A = this chain, B = another copy of it.
């Protein structure tokens, strides 16, 4: 090689911070995360089989926002920012050899894994959707881990998990810890000994169950193959835009408002905007953890830059910023739209009528997360986006249609 070429490579090295694969980078969380990481000068490659778009076709649903194709999204991003994002249409749950080859070819520093079916209600609809969720999610996660081992590359895996693995604590009034709990356990002499274990798993849906099973994959591969793994136990996402998705209408994020894929706060805002009573399941006393979509992208960026060491146990963060019950959400929405009505309906889910929820998120706060809290101003911004897409609303999806009691 000539000195000139050497210099050229050197320049690229200092410009590019990390090579990052985002599996599921076309989805609701994946797309804003990909843009955020690209904006931060990482070399981003999206791997996605576009399954979320296909499920829209299957259910007859649509994103409220008119999302562009992945190709248009990437072209627009490059034309606006000069930053390139690569894309491969690949099903990581099925195309193992291709995945290994991509790892060998690109040598990513980090893989963000969002390649899982992520709607709890969808996972509970039928045998078909249960089985798809189990087959896709578990094989996807395991293929990624086995591919990292096979590639012989030192890759940090960042997985999008869920707060739902905790099931609101193993004992009443606990502060939900970040992944692990300190317990006392009896030895053969009857003495209680201190030990630290993974928080016991209490999933409330097939989807959540697959995430508790993912945790065992991670524990095993971190211990036996010294893979560096971060598991993000995310709360319910709300919001729609990030600074990056707002740059151009072709970069807009998807917004789901059906009762399978729409998250509860987004759905409530949608119902209020279209004069439909908010359908509160049960008493409305169910408390959940929330996080704004911008903060989700910010957290992933922090996690990417703070990997565990090889040989360390799985690093687990609670990726949420606040907890609220459903009645509180309704109250905030009423402040933005005083005409909002509320309808209490039979709870289609097997869940506690009412629960408290206190969650530790100290790790992200210590690493610099500045949360966006749920307030009238942010709710109003979503309202306005929703109103501007009036022509795309299919009213039949705004009411609950997904039932999972059996």
Contact = CB atoms under 8 A, between A and B. Distances in A.
Contacts of A201: 198, 216, 219
Contacts of A147: 127
Complex copy number for this chain: 2
Interface in A287-307: none
Given A127-B146, A131-B96, A184 B192 contact: yes
B142 A134 contact: yes
Nearest to A96: B131
Contacts of A327: none
A234 interface: no
Given A203-B216, A220-B209, A173 B189 contact: yes
Interface in A201-235: 201, 203, 206, 209, 212-213, 216-217, 219-220, 224-225
Given A127-B147, A172-B193, A184-B192, 19 more contacts: A96-B127, A127-B146, A127-B149, A127-B150, A131-B139, A134-B138, A134-B139, A138-B138, A171-B195, A173-B188, A174-B185, A174-B186, A181-B186, A183-B183, A201-B216, A209-B217, A213-B213, A213-B216, A216-B216
12 contacts: A127-B149, A127-B150, A130-B142, A135-B135, A135-B142, A171-B193, A182-B186, A183-B184, A184-B192, A188-B358, A198-B201, A213-B216
Interface of A: 96, 100, 127, 130-131, 134-135, 138-139, 142-143, 146-147, 149-150, 170-175, 181-189, 192-193, 195, 197-198, 200-201, 203, 206, 209, 212-213, 216-217, 219-220, 224-225, 350, 358, 406
